[in-house]
Amino acid sequence: MATLRFKAIEESMKHKPVSVPSPSEKISDFFGIYVFDKSKMLKYLSSDAYEAVMDAIVQGTRIDRKMADQVASGMKTWAMSHGVTHYTHWFQPLTEGTAEKHDTFVEIAADGSAIEQFSGKLLAQQEPDASSFPSGGIRNTFEARGYTAWDPTSPAFIMENTLIIPTIFISYTGEALDYKTPMLKALHALDKAAVEVCQYFDKDVTKVISNLGWEQEYFLVDEAVYNARPDLILTGRTLMGHASAKNQQLEDQYFGQIPNRVLNFMKELEFEAYKLGIPVKTRHNEVAPNQYELAPIYEETNLAIDHNLLIMQLMRTVSRKHNFIVLLHEKPFSGINGSGKHNNWSVATNTGVNLLSPGKTPKSNLQFLTFLINTLAALYKHNALIKASIASAGNQHRLGANEAPPAIISAFLGQQLNKMLDEIETRVTDEKMTPDEKTVIKLDIGKIPEILLDNTDRNRTSPFAFTGNKFEFRAVGSSANCASAMTALNAALAEQLVEFKKQVDELIEKGVKKDEAILQLLRKLIKASKAIRFEGNGYSEEWKAEAAKRGLDCEASVPKMYHAYLTEQSRELFRKTNVFTDVEMEARSEVRMELFIKKIQIEARVLSDLTVNHILPTVVEYQSRLIENVNGLKSLYSAEDFKALSGRRLAQIKDISLAVETVEKLVSEMVEARKAANRIDDVDERAIAYSDKVFPFLEEIRYHVDKLELIVDNERWPLPKYRELLFIR
């Protein structure tokens, strides 16, 4: 039975580093060659068409049909110069990853000859057969069709002879069916709200964007060994496997030498990424064996997300060339760190100012404090929703598992900045400030850049940490589309800024000076959102108790976390920012719940199959050998000698039988629990049943199977073990 496993291991030993051609040019010579970026647009578009695209990017104006025709034609000419034959609308359905449908440029003319064509109509809109993408019932209720529409703010690019056009995906009646549409709306809401607030400080600000720098963690496993693990193939994670004698306890992996096979994979991945204009910057080992991280330089959020999705796609294809499989699941291996995707996030103006970075003058620092404190207020108000935005069946293994903060959102600012906020809280009052008081405050605020310079303490246990000029949102899962988190976060800040502006204006109207009005409101927000600030150890048990006392959302069950999307507070947020309608929110809620159910359902089925058909037969076979052996001893020895010689063996035979009985019982109970859950009509209730009643069996069954792995003859064990999966030779 174990032959498959050993063949796989043998096969994996044959995998040597695959050589990668090293490019003869500098990176800057081929960076973005496959992207229809500004330089190509200038070359291939008329100046009118170029302006139309730029206006669409900066001001969100619509591109009319005539201009779209010109853009399409320019794109086609450029793409064909690279041997492109097909085009596709690329979109982000509510499943994982991206979707596309390829069409050729070729049309047949009336005389039967072939001609390459690409019109503005085809560029602007497509109707993919979308019936199999999750819609939460939107398409059933409204109209069966859905369509994709060009997103000119993310440039088209070429992959494998295909021109790829980033698009949004919506139902025929206009409801979003994807991740991109609501995110673009959230970014738009933030832009509007933030520009208004920036006007207090700088009249030249006309546009505010959100920036995102993601850090993608992932595991690599050898392809041959992976192929012998049905659980990895079907669920992306190992559902069983005893810890290897050595895993991450020596802490020798982080910043250690990257094995050649892996290095070559990374080089090719980077090469491909550069050609697609993805500014990959760092690569290094992570904490766990076979775990790595890749991070680009930050970009505008919409583009950064498209690039993240592209990188995940590239990782899958490039890894295969190197006989690896990339694991993007949040927790592929039990007992070993999982993978996340830190989202480094900031907001910046068209004047080149990072609003989350202290400036050089008291005025710019007051602006910095305004954005910082409003962010805290938004995070506080919507902490449950922001947590829901990163919740998933995969990510629940990671949060609160002593490698990531608990399932509670809090913000870390660092000692110095905290002191600064405390100071504003005590010094500023609702009374008119004296000139002396003003001077003191100004001096204090002016000091921020210096105090931040030597503020090097970075709390690694915080889910939302201020790191000098950005917040690092660390709770995002490695396989997630960052758009979910970025939509919630940017929308929450947008709503908060609108409220802030309204209240400042009211004070100004009452005759309070602008700076004083701003300070008074900041003080109010500091006081009101204090509960979200936490500087201590986010991994500790004390924090869980403390957070509950502070009234932060401590829900740990994923389906129940999702309920935060449907509270009146969240509905109001999304309505006000125009991000989701009520219909969309309800539809999405259903999609999320369904996805959660399906994930656990598949895991439960795979675990049943592996246990009943792979593990238990092996165990029983091994036990029969033991029984044979004992019977042999019995025939050879006197009763007294036999007793002395076979006591432990007999006990082991009994232990195995007990374990087999237990596992079989648990498996059938799990099947029953699943059946019972399936009978529940309400999707929320069903998801909760899967979480509370089915999910716990996965851990319990695995516990017994992993113990059996230690008992049974290594030669017979059917599945590659952790040590064989985790160390690349």
Q: Is 292 among the residues that bind ligand ADP (CB under 6 A)?
A: no
Would you say 280 or 519 has its CB closer to ligand ADP? 280
Q: What SS3 state is found at 360? A: coil
Return d(Cα 575, Cα 601) in angstroms, integer. 34
Residue 297 vs 658, nearer CB to ligand ADP: 297
Stretch that binds ligand ADP, among 290-298, 410-418, 563-571, 720-728 (CB under 6 A): 290-298
Site string for ligand ADP, 465-494 (x = CB under 6 A): ----xx------------------------
Nearest CA to 261 out of 22, 18, 11 is that of 18
Least distance between ligand ADP and beta carbon 353 (Å): 11
User: Distance between CA 26 and CA 275 in Å, rounded?
Assistant: 12
* 455 touches ligand ADP (CB under 6 A): no
- Residue 202 amino acid letter: D
Amino acid (1-letter code) at residue 703: Y
Compute φ and ψ for 168, nearest 5 degrees. -95, 165
Q: Residue of minimal CB distance from Mg ion?
A: 342
Among the listed residues 213, 359, 394, 405, the single contact to ligand ADP using CB under 6 A: 213
Rounded to 10 degrees, the C-alpha dihedral 688/691/694/695 comes to 180
Q: How far is the CB of 698 from ligand ADP (least distance, A)?
A: 32
Part of the chain binding ligand ADP (CB under 6 A), chosen from 91-99, 344-352, 657-665, 697-705: 344-352
With residue 463 as reference, give the H or E element that holds it. none
Residues 268 and 311: their CA atoms lie apart, in Å, by 12
CB of 474 or CB of 704, closer to ligand ADP: 474
Q: How many residues at the interface with ligand ADP, by CB under 6 A?
A: 14
For residue 625, give both structure tokens: 């050998």
Which part of the chain contacts ligand ADP (CB under 6 A), choosing from 13-21, 59-67, 250-258, 342-350?
342-350
Among 12, 154, 211, 264, binds ligand ADP (CB under 6 A): 211
Q: Is 295 in the site for ligand ADP (CB under 6 A)?
A: yes
Binding flag, residue 209, ligand ADP (CB under 6 A): no
Site for ligand ADP in 7-66 (CB under 6 A): none
Nearest to 659 by CA among 629, 622, 685: 622
Closest by Cα among 425, 340, 339, 342 to 376: 425
Q: How many CB atoms lie within 10 A of CB 486?
A: 28
Rounded Cα distance between 498 and 459, Å, is 31
Closest to 88 measured CA to CA, from 180, 146, 159, 170: 159
Rule CB under 6 A: say whether 344 interacts with ligand ADP. Answer: yes
Q: Cα-atom radius of gyration of the chain, to the nearest Å?
A: 29
Residue number of the CB atom closest to ligand ADP: 213
- Phi and psi at 510, nearest 5°, equal -80, 0
191 binds, among ligand ADP, Mg ion, none (CB under 5 to 8 A by kind): none
503 binding partner (options Mg ion, ligand ADP, none; Cβ < 5 to 8 Å by kind): none
| Minimum distance of Mg ion from residue 340's CB (angstroms) | 9
Which residues in 350-379 contact ligand ADP (CB under 6 A)?
354
Is residue 331 a contact residue for ligand ADP (CB under 6 A)? no
Task: List the single partner that 297 binds among ligand ADP, Mg ion, none, CB under 5 to 8 Å by kind.
Answer: ligand ADP
Helix ranges restricted to H, 27-84: 27-30, 38-44, 47-59, 65-80
Does residue 215 interact with ligand ADP by CB under 6 A? yes
Stretch that binds Mg ion, among 4-12, 213-221, 353-361, 648-656 (CB under 5 A): 213-221
476: which residues sit within 8 A by CB, 6+ positions away?
214, 340, 341, 342, 343, 390, 395, 482, 485
Q: Of 325-354, which residues contact Mg ion (CB under 5 A)?
A: 342
Which of residues 308, 337, 346, 608 is near ligand ADP by CB under 6 A?
Answer: 346
The answer to whether residues 165 and 100 touch, using CB atoms and an 8 Å cutoff, is: no
Give alpha helix (H) positions in 228-361.
230-235, 260-275, 301-321
32 binds, among Mg ion, ligand ADP, none (CB under 5 to 8 A by kind): none
* Binding residues vs ligand ADP (CB under 6 A): 211, 213, 215, 295-298, 342, 344-346, 354, 469-470
